[in-house]
Amino acid sequence: MTGNPSTKAVAKSDERILRVSAAMDEFENYAPNQHAAQIAALGDALAQKFNLAAHDRIFLRQAALVHDIGEVLMNREYILSSQMLTANERLDLQRHPVIGEQEAAKLGLSRAAQLLVRWHHEWWNGAGYPDALRREQIPLSARILRVVDSFAALTSKRPFRAAFSESEAARHLTEWAGIEFDPKVVKEFLTLEYSAKSETEFETNQSETEQKEPTSTFE
């Protein structure tokens, strides 16, 4: 990603971004400022591991803070339902990254940050949405966002399931590396002090795993 936003422009949009972030966590029934802030912190830790440039770290943080604003704007009851989503509800929900991208534009976020919001549900094997990008077609920051969003969601109590322990969530990331997640990003994530290491040895057999179809976003 290129482009270097001025410090003034970043500061100006920061307050609005934090307001959106708080509204997002409230809508999704997370503890105030818990989910989005955790994703932003974990994402930045990974960004540093991958030596992302300062401006890319800013874009990733902004996108992390507002990534699910599309869900808030859609305001669907099923999002907080304890029931499994129907096929139609799942399709409807898949609109949220695009709606989020549009809202990120209205918030004045850079095009790079807008696209991270758009692509935060893309999967390494191309089975994600909205654009079914695969592998390096997905920007590294969006691949990072996918991993940290999943980890934060899994380790939080949701209306439809109990919270995973950190080691259970780490195991999930390991099992879905090469399918949903970039294996390199998962491997680095498991070295962070924030997360428990998976008890399963990290290895990915992509020839086997890439055939797997998505079953649930666990969010």
Residues lying near Fe ion in the complex (CB under 5 A) are found at 68
Q: Rounded distance, CA 96 to CA 74, Å?
A: 7
Which is closer to Fe ion, CB of 56 or CB of 68?
68
Question: The tokens of 91 are what?
Answer: 């399709």
Which is closer to Fe ion, CB of 79 or CB of 170?
79
For the chain, the straight-line distance linking the first and the last C-alpha, in angstroms and rounded, comes to 28
Which is closer to Fe ion, CB of 49 or CB of 95?
95
- Closest residue to bound Fe ion by CB: 68
Which is closer to Fe ion, CB of 25 or CB of 68?
68
Question: The tokens of 25 are what?
Answer: 């966590």
Query: Closest distance between Fe ion and the C-beta of residue 190, in Å?
Result: 22
Query: Closest distance between Fe ion and the C-beta of residue 153, in Å?
Result: 9
Query: Closest distance between Fe ion and the C-beta of residue 162, in Å?
Result: 20
Q: What angle do CA 148, 192, 42 make, to 5 degrees?
A: 35
Which is closer to Fe ion, CB of 10 or CB of 20?
20
CA atoms within 13 A on the CB side of 31: 7
Query: Closest distance between Fe ion and the C-beta of residue 106, in Å?
Result: 18
Where residue 102 falls (left for φ over 0; alpha for ψ -120 to 50; beta otherwise) is alpha
Which is closer to Fe ion, CB of 41 or CB of 196?
41
Identity of the residue numbered 136: E
Output DSSP code: residue 2: -
DSSP secondary structure letters along 98-150? HHHHHHHHHTT--HHHHHHHHTTT--TTS--SSS---GGGS-HHHHHHHHHHH
Query: Closest distance between Fe ion and the C-beta of residue 217, in Å?
Result: 7
Query: Closest distance between Fe ion and the C-beta of residue 53, in Å?
Result: 25
